[in-house]
Amino acid sequence: MIKIRIGGWPFRFPQRWEEVSFQDAKNLYYTKGNELQERLYILARVPKRDVLKLDPSIVLAAYEIISFIEEVPLIVPNTSNEQAVDWVANWTFAEFEAGRQLILKQQEAPALAMAMLAEIKDRQSDYLEYGAKALDGIFQLLNHYNEFGLFSEKEPSDIEFSAGIERLQLFGTYAIVAKLAKEFGKLPQEIEQEPAGWVLKEWAHMVEQNRYQENYARLSTKK
């Protein structure tokens, strides 16, 4: 912690993630990138804008001290000696998707999602370790399956928009869960409780199988 005077009043600023409580880290998640004074309030109890109007240059200078929150710490505890990707692959698919959505809402600074990610597995007391592991594991799985286009966010065509695809998009990955449920004779809720690694693998296989069948059919008609 470091003591800084702003407007004649002393405030204590954390300088690394280890000095940020779980509750403060969780509160940071709900802030936006332009809400600097809100973040100063959360971490150093500098009054909010509606109470204390500060010159933007002062806010920026103060924020530099806590800007570490935008970065995942390079070194965190590893009490479990568990590989991040293996740990996350054993989450249920519902937990994995909840984590992915949390990260999407803080794309500019994914580190702000660490507390929320740790809370998925009830690891509030050691959120730094498990939040960082969750981020790492989710990103590794997403990168691994990126070549299959599982989570591609391509812009829908005009025809798709006209057909109402935005309403279908509200269901997220449910369509895939439903297809896998039909394939294995289960309910969609049951698929959501299967390990994320298994669901992603089956989903990728389905994508590649469909691609092969479409290519085979197309090539066969040319003969």
Do both 89 and 132 map to the same domain? yes
- Taking only Cα atoms into account, the Rg of the chain, rounded to an integer number of angstroms, comes to 22
Given a contact cutoff of 8 angstroms between Cβ atoms, the answer to whether 132 and 73 are in contact is yes
Low-confidence stretches of the chain (pLDDT beneath 50): 161, 165, 167-171
> Looking at the domain assignment, is residue 76 inside a domain?
no
pLDDT (0 to 100) of residue 169: 43
- Out of 70, 98, 113, a domain closes at 70
The answer to whether residue 190 sits within a structural domain is yes
Q: What is the pLDDT of residue 151?
A: 73
Mean pLDDT taken over the chain:
85
Distances (CA, A) of 112 to 23, 60, 99: 12, 19, 12
Residues 46 and 91 grouped into a single domain? no
- The candidate with the shortest Cα–Cα distance to 91, out of 21, 140, 29, is 140
Same domain, 53 and 96: no
Question: Is 31 within the bounds of a domain?
Answer: yes
Structural domains counted in the chain: 3
pLDDT at position 217 is: 74
Residue 64 lies in a domain: yes
Q: Is residue 149 part of a domain?
A: no
Question: Range of 209's domain?
Answer: 158-222
The reply to whether 39 falls in a domain is: yes
Quick one: pLDDT at residue 162?
55
Q: Is there a contact between 39 and 66 (Cβ–Cβ < 8 Å)?
A: yes
d(CA 149, CA 210): 13
Q: Are residues 17 and 43 in the same domain?
A: yes
Q: Are residues 175 and 203 in the same domain?
A: yes
Assess if residue 78 is contained within a domain: no
Are 178 and 208 part of one and the same domain? yes
